[in-house]
Amino acid sequence: MNVKNEIKSIIVRSGMTMQQVVDLLSEEYGWSNSIRNGSSSTEK
């Protein structure tokens, strides 16, 4: 399993949605608040 999919599976197991994670990262670190950009951030 690649790192991107592993991160997504951890998020799902924690009970959060991808949108909740992206919203949290946007608030905490000023990242873009779109899921598409948030998913791209996990690839960096």
pLDDT given for residue 41 in this prediction: 53
Cα angle 36-39-43, degrees, rounded to a multiple of 5: 135
pLDDT given for residue 42 in this prediction: 53
Q: What is the pLDDT of residues 1-44, one digit of tens each?
A: 699 899 889 999 999 988 898 899 889 998 887 877 555 555 55
What is the domain range of residue 10? 3-41
pTM score over 0.75: no
pLDDT given for residue 16 in this prediction: 93
pLDDT given for residue 34 in this prediction: 80
Q: How many domains, in total, are found in the chain? A: 1
Phi, psi of 22, rounded to the nearest 5 degrees: -65, -40
Separation CA 27–CA 30 (nearest Å)? 6
